[in-house]
Structure 1
Amino acid sequence: MIRWLLDGPLKGFPDIPPVWLTVFLVAAWVLNEYLPLVTAFGLVFRAAGGLLIGFALAVIAWSAWWFWRKKTTIEPHHTPTALIVEGPYRYSRNPIYLGLLAIVTGYVLWLGSLSPVLLPYLFFHVLTRRFIEPEEEGLRKIFGAEAHRYLNATHRWL
């Protein structure tokens, strides 16, 4: 399924995380709207989803601020000029991706139906294969032993 998604209908579109996020949010909405399996989750799930999305946006903003502070690129397919190991990067090597995953998960909770429940799992794999693994390899090439120490000492997600 993931291979089909990566090499099939989405091949050739701008390969950046916000576009993938949009694809998954639209897919969640479509599944919820046209195939609403088990919709009795209610207000608790909406509240949890909203809180998760709010927390995710805060983490993304905090993480993005560190790119600005270090004056390095935030775009995944560009070459970084600094290895960020401070702020949220002390806890996770990928706090922005973690935030994007939390947004998809929060939105699925907020929708309150079972039909899009597998989308966060699929999004996790897309982020890992399309962005995280190539970025980590690039960091090793650019920053050498410093990147190796950081990647070994800090969890990929949490």
Structure 2
Amino acid sequence: MKWIDIPPVWLLLAVATTWQISVLQPQVLAIGHPMLDLLGGLLVGAGLVLMLLAVAEMRRRKTTVIPHKEADALVTTGVFARSRNPIYLGDALVLAGLALRWDAPVALMLVPLFMATLIQRFILPEENRLRRKFHADFARYCEKTRRWL
């Protein structure tokens, strides 16, 4: 069952919940401003671009993008020079953007919950594996590069 415990599945669940909130929330909670559509679209677009850049950088360095697998290289270049978790950051941006696009401000509460889930289920175990494999190199990377931004 570990194959189903991957970040895209968690993102899909959060997106489905966001959609349900947008459908079921009382109209009085909706904001309905066109700038939210624009901001939401920009966040979704930025999230997707960030994910694509991160995957491309990982492919270039010939390492896995699958969270439960052992990394072959410590990627610290490209978008990884700004964030240790650009794919997860991209996921969070997409979720926040969709909540805005679907005029579901209540669903924005899911974003920090989603991020906490990613930290516990994926980021901490990944960091432990990287720490064991890359020792001082990973420690130096953590000192100069923040987890999210």
TM-score (ref. length: structure 1): 0.89
1:54 to 22, 28, 45: 45
- 5+ long unaligned stretches in structure 2: none
Give the TM-score, by structure 2 length: 0.94
Q: 1:99 aligns with which of 90, 94, 102?
A: 90
Q: Percent identity?
A: 36
Give runs of aligned pairs for residues 1-158 of structure 1, distance below 5 A: 14-36=4-26, 38-158=29-149
Question: How many Å apart are 1:116 and its aligned residue?
Answer: 1.2
Residue 41 of structure 1: how far off its partner (Å): 3.0
3-state DSSP of counterpart to 2:107: coil
Contact (CA 8 Å) 2:36, 2:103: kept in 1 or not? yes
CA gap 1:39/1:98 in 2 versus in 1, 3 angstroms: same
Distance 1:92 1:110, change over 3 A: same
| Number of aligned residue pairs | 148
Could you list the per-position Cα deviations for residues 47-105 of structure 1 after superposition, in whole angstroms to 9, with x for gaps in the alignment?
10001101111111011001110111100000001000000011000011000000001
Using the TM superposition, give the Cα deviation of residue 34 of structure 1 relative to its aligned residue in structure 2, in angstroms.
Answer: 1.5
How many Å separate the matches in 2 of 1:83 and 1:17? 20
More displaced stretch, 48-57 vs 112-121:
112-121
Q: Could you list the runs of 4 or more consecutive aligned residues of structure 1 that deviate by over 3 angstroms after TM superposition? A: none
Code of the residue aligned with 1:38 in structure 2: it is: L
Q: Compared with structure 1, are the counterparts of its residues 13 and 32 closer, same or farther at alpha carbon in structure 2 (3 Å cutoff)?
A: farther
For the residues of structure 2 that align with 1:130 and 1:94, how far apart are their CA atoms? 13
Following the alignment from structure 2 to structure 1, what is the Cα–Cα distance between the partners of residues 77 and 2? 34
CA–CA distance in 2 between the matches of 1:62 and 1:109? 24
In 2: Cα distance, 1:89 partner to 1:60 partner: 11
Residues 41 and 113 in structure 1, CA contact (< 8 A), matched pair in contact too: no
Once the two structures are superposed, what CA deviation does each residue of 1:13-67 show, in whole Å capped at 9, x if it has no partner?
Answer: 8110110110000000011112245112321101100011011111110110011
Report deviation, 1:12.
Answer: 7.3
